[in-house]
Amino acid sequence: MLFSSIPGLTSIKQTLIKGVQNNHVAHAQIFAGPEGSANLAMAIAYACYVNCENKQQLDSCGLCASCSKYLKLAHPDLHFVFPYSTTKLVPKDPTSGAFLKEWRSFLTNNPYQNLSQWGELIGSENKPLIIPVEEARHIIKTLSVKSFEARYKSMIIWLPETMRHEAANAILKILEEPPQKTLFLLVTHAIDKIIPTILSRTQKIIVPPFTQEEVYQYLKARYDADEKQLNNAAYLSEGNVNEAISILLQTEHEYRSMFRDWMRLCYMLYKKTSHLIDLNEWVETFSKLSKDNQKNFFQFGMHILREALVYKATGHQLIKLPPEDLSFVEKFSQVLNEYLIEKIAQKLNESAYHIERNANSKITFMHTTFYIASMFKTP
């Protein structure tokens, strides 16, 4: 993880980088920040920078032997400890090491996720996730082995607040007198829950929540959503990137199932297996959405139809859709040819435009529905 992959937070990055450049690398540091902040990403980027063989002014080089292993989260001197429980796959004596594969994919997917998402990924089935005392023994053992190749051996402990007391006590000594060239980076969401004996041995780095603008930039670089949705998610997230992503995907999820149901309704209207009364219910539901959401809904539909066109042209290996969408697109592209799919997409575009121009939403929706139903008739 590079500093540049973390949006904003320029002054913290500068402080950390300057410290390394001036040879002030405290061996035990705690990165404290709320959920959805960059504390974990920042700790990894920092360890990467400390070990980079060709440090740049503002970031690691990203290319040297150390960086390339760090970027894959697979450096032999980079160690992670995090909370876990027993799971179906690891029913006995779990350790952080047993979940390393899941951990790497967790971080690669989105390093701003929270503990319950982690629990879900490893299949903890709502059992409490903790760092048990056995893990502390592993930490001591791992650090007593000489480092393989890195300048610093890094031990990153995610959520030390989940450590059992015995575990926390067990690492106190090594935290105070670590082996040469060892970097202890604790990453917490709840600094007030860290026992004082640990806190007093660590240097504190406070990572604030992201600004709304930083969240927006992060989303914009990764998600194909319109400005308003991005802005809305960034605004509602209160600096929590993880929350912003879930708001964004939730909206998409709702549009998804609604669009599928609507297309089914159009098809049933054509088949005359649906009644106008169903349509009326739909019109009511649609008219209760905000103007933005009505517009977004039509635009989302266009997006799915474009996927259907790609599907017709190439087969499914080229399109990136979740399985439930893919099966919908498959069925949909069986009943309509490319020309008609394109026509419907154009219609949705027009309808979104009309909504924006304050057209009556009930009439627009009804009109669009009849138009799409009539398309099924066309061979």
Query: Which stretches of the chain bind Zn ion, using CB under 5 A?
Result: 52, 54, 60-61, 64, 67
Return the number of the residue (3 or 216) whose C-beta is nearest Zn ion.
3
For residues 352 and 360, the answer to whether their CB atoms sit within 8 Å is no
CB of 105 to Zn ion, least distance (A): 23
Task: Give least dist CB 66 to Zn ion, A.
Answer: 6
- CB within 8 Å of 213: residues ≥ 6 apart: 8, 234
Q: Output the smallest distance, CB 70 to Zn ion, in A.
A: 8
Q: Based on CB atoms, which residue is closest to Zn ion, 60 or 202?
A: 60
In whole angstroms, the minimum distance from the beta carbon of 369 to Zn ion comes to: 57
With the C-alpha atoms ordered 114, 69, 44, 76, is the resulting torsion angle positive or negative? positive
The vertex-295 CA angle with 285 and 324, nearest 5°, equals 70
- Do 375 and 344 contact (CB within 8 A), yes or no? yes
Least Å distance between CB 69 and Zn ion?
10
Kindly tell me which of 47 and 186 has the beta carbon lying closer to Zn ion. Answer: 47
Which is closer to Zn ion, CB of 63 or CB of 190? 63
Query: Rounded to an integer, what is the distance from CA 283 to the centroid of its chain?
Result: 34
Nearer to Zn ion, 65 or 359 (CB): 65
Return the sign of the alpha-carbon dihedral for residues 375, 264, 350, 226: negative
Which residues are within 8 A (CB) of 37 and not within 5 positions of it... i.e. 6 or more apart?
112, 207, 208, 209, 210, 239, 240, 241
